[in-house]
Chain A
Amino acid sequence: MSDWALLIATGLLLTSAVALWRIARGPHRADRMMAAQLVGTSGIAIVLLLALVVDDWAMLDVAIVLALLAALSVIAYAKSAYDAGYGDPEEDQAPSQEPSDD
């Protein structure tokens, strides 16, 4: 059983390697962020399988932290890509106004 889980975890590591290739290749920053997201998701799956292998279910907390960090990293990236206040519907409705100070 644990041999099988290790085999699946190795396959997931290979998909992470694919994501690293996309991070190196680009071409856009959004592509790199998507690939980092793939590393996060497959990292969660690998931690779950390793929790099964070593029979230590406290590792599930590690997986929860990984999921939270993956979500927050994408939100931080989206905030850094735009000016402050972008995405606010009131500001999107009135593009001809003078640029507001923040």
Chain B
Amino acid sequence: MTDLLTMILTAIGLIFFAVGSLGLIRFPDSPSRLHALTKADNLGLGFIVLGVAFQAPGAAALLKLFLIWALAIFSAGASAQLVGRIALDSGRSDASGSKR
């Protein structure tokens, strides 16, 4: 039963990762690529964490797994703001992409 849940959840996670990287290839400009990347990939990581958590041996490993996911989500939130601001500013000014 838990094996079946692990298989289903990791497969869903892989699907989300595939969708995110498809968006990274296909979307036309930087902000939309950022939109595809930061949401879909961290949702995929969440499904994989959930799938692996059904096989975890104890509470310590379980806690660590969800710590990893929380860390990935927080860093994705911060880095999406930072990278999005850089992409927006360089699109506004010139094509050189540097603002120093």
Report which A residues bind B (CB closer than 8 A): 1, 4-5, 8, 11-12, 15, 18-19, 21-22, 28-31, 33-35, 37-38, 41-42, 44-45, 48-49, 51-52, 57, 60-61, 63-64, 67-68, 70-71, 74-75, 77-78, 81-83, 87
Contact = CB atoms under 8 A, between A and B. Distances in A.
The secondary structure that dominates the A interface is helix
B90 A30 contact: yes
B72 A74 contact: no
Contacts of A78: 79, 82-83, 85-86
B37 A28 contact: no
Contacts of A12: 14, 17
The secondary structure that dominates the B interface is helix
Contacts, number: 146
Given A42-B41, A74-B79, A82-B99, A19 B24 contact: yes
